[in-house]
């Protein structure tokens, strides 16, 4: 088993080295009609029409770009201070976070125009679509809230308030939960979209002012929070450490199957410093199965990767 672990570890490290050796290459430049030198923000894809959607925050324009021809299909005005973008498949609608007027815009890509504006709290920002629940979750960063939009009605059906500025939300399609960054408290909140209740919050220890987030979508709770620490982003490091730890834990569980016993939620949250975690602990989102203090990677505490 030790030989298997070593081979797996070497494979992972070789993969990481290959990623580091790769370089990005520019393949095309797309000219946009808006004013130059003004800030852009979010990008997202409409996979149904093969459109790239680009938020030009400065002049308040949403660009619809055909990635097949690399041409601008439409420059849609009337989205002042647009930051976040969320495309809803099937309905062919885009929900824009319009910071300039503190509203959520509803853009119909059939008519290529803004069809509705929803007043919301201060600085609407990132957003996420929970498809099974037909809801878009919009982070109102300075309003310390998350606005929930019913995409069938195009109405805000609920606003969840927090004691912290809110960063990027994400929907985990495996766990069927919404996660949102709480920037002032360095935490991630977990929301149940079935009831729109907050199930709990989890610390992102060792990192500060977490804002961005990505869900990998191959197992429950695989969300990596992009957090600023000493001016640098540490989401890649966290992801690598998390997955190396999972690899070790799975192999360790194979060696010690008699340790697979259920533990209380409180003990899992403590990181189980007094003993091993259950082998299924890494899938109880958003926590990582940490193992014992002897097993954790050098330089990383039991808690620093609990939210990911």
Element at 2 (helix H, strand E) = helix 2-21
**Per-position b or e across 217-230, b if 16+ CB within 10 A of its CB:** eeebbbbbbbbeee
The number of beta carbons lying within 10 Å of the beta carbon of residue 171 is 24
Give the C-alpha separation, 247 to 5, whole Å: 8
Closest CA to 190 of 201, 182, 175: 201
Are the C-beta atoms of residues 55 and 62 closer than 8 Å to each other?
yes
Q: Three-state SS for 99? A: helix
The structure's pTM equals: 0.69
DSSP string, 161-220: E-SS-EEEEEEETTTTEEEEEETTTTEEEEEETTTTEEEEEEE-TT-EEEEEEEE--SST
Predicted pLDDT of residue 197:
97
Give the C-alpha separation, 180 to 170, whole Å: 6
Tell me what the pLDDT averaged over the chain comes to. 75
Task: Please give the DSSP secondary-structure letter assigned to residue 33.
Answer: S
Query: 203 pairs with which residues across the strands?
Result: 187
Predicted pLDDT of residue 210:
86
Give the C-alpha separation, 16 to 242, whole Å: 14
Percent of the chain that is helix, strand, coil (3-state, to 5): 20, 40, 45
Are the C-beta atoms of residues 167 and 125 closer than 8 Å to each other?
yes
Dihedral sign computed on CA atoms, order 1, 245, 296, 259: negative
Architecture of domain 35-161: 7 Propeller (2.130)
Predicted pLDDT of residue 23:
81
C-alpha dist (Å) from residue 211 to 11, 39, 168:
31, 18, 6
Predicted pLDDT of residue 209:
86
Task: Please give the DSSP secondary-structure letter assigned to residue 90.
Answer: T
Map out the domains of the chain as residue ranges: 35-161
Predicted pLDDT of residue 308:
34
Would you state the structure tokens that stand for residue 194, as one six-digit string? 């079935």
Q: What is the mean pLDDT of each run of 10 residues along the chain (308 residues)?
A: 48 54 83 92 95 97 96 97 97 97 98 98 97 98 98 98 96 92 93 97 82 67 48 42 50 42 40 36 34 34 34
pLDDT in tens, 114-138: 999 999 999 999 999 999 999 999 9
pLDDT in tens, 89-118: 999 999 999 999 999 999 999 999 999 999
């Amino acid at each position: 088993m030790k030989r298997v672990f070593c081979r797996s570890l070497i494979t992972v490290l070789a993969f990481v080295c290959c990623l580091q050796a790769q370089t990005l290459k520019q393949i095309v430049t797309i000219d946009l009609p808006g004013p130059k030198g003004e800030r852009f923000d979010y990008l997202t894809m409409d996979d149904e029409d093969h459109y790239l959607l680009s938020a030009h925050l400065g002049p308040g324009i949403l660009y619809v770009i055909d990635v097949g021809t690399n041409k601008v299909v439409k420059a849609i005005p009337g989205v002042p201070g647009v930051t976040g973008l969320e495309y809803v498949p099937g309905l062919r609608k885009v929900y824009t976070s319009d910071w300039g007027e503190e509203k959520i815009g509803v853009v119909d890509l059939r008519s290529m125009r803004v069809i509705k504006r929803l007043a919301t709290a201060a600085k609407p920002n990132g957003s996420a679509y929970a498809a099974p629940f037909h809801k878009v979750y919009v982070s109102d960063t300075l309003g310390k809230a998350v606005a929930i939009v019913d995409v069938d009605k195009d109405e805000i059906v609920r606003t969840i308030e927090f004691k912290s500025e809110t960063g990027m939300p994400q929907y985990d399609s495996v766990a069927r939960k919404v996660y949102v960054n709480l920037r002032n408290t360095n935490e991630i909140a977990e929301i149940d979209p079935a009831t729109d209740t907050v199930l709990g919050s989890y610390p992102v220890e060792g990192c500060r002012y977490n804002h961005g987030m990505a869900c990998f979508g191959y197992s429950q709770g695989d969300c990596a929070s992009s957090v600023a620490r000493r001016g640098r982003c540490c989401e890649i490091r966290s992801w690598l450490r998390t997955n190396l730890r999972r690899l070790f834990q799975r192999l360790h569980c194979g060696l010690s199957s008699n340790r697979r016993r259920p533990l209380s939620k409180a003990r899992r949250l403590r990181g189980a410093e007094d003993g091993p975690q259950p082998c299924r602990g890494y899938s109880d989102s958003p926590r990582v199965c940490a193992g014992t203090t002897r097993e954790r990677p050098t330089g990383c505490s039991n808690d620093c990767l609990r939210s990911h």
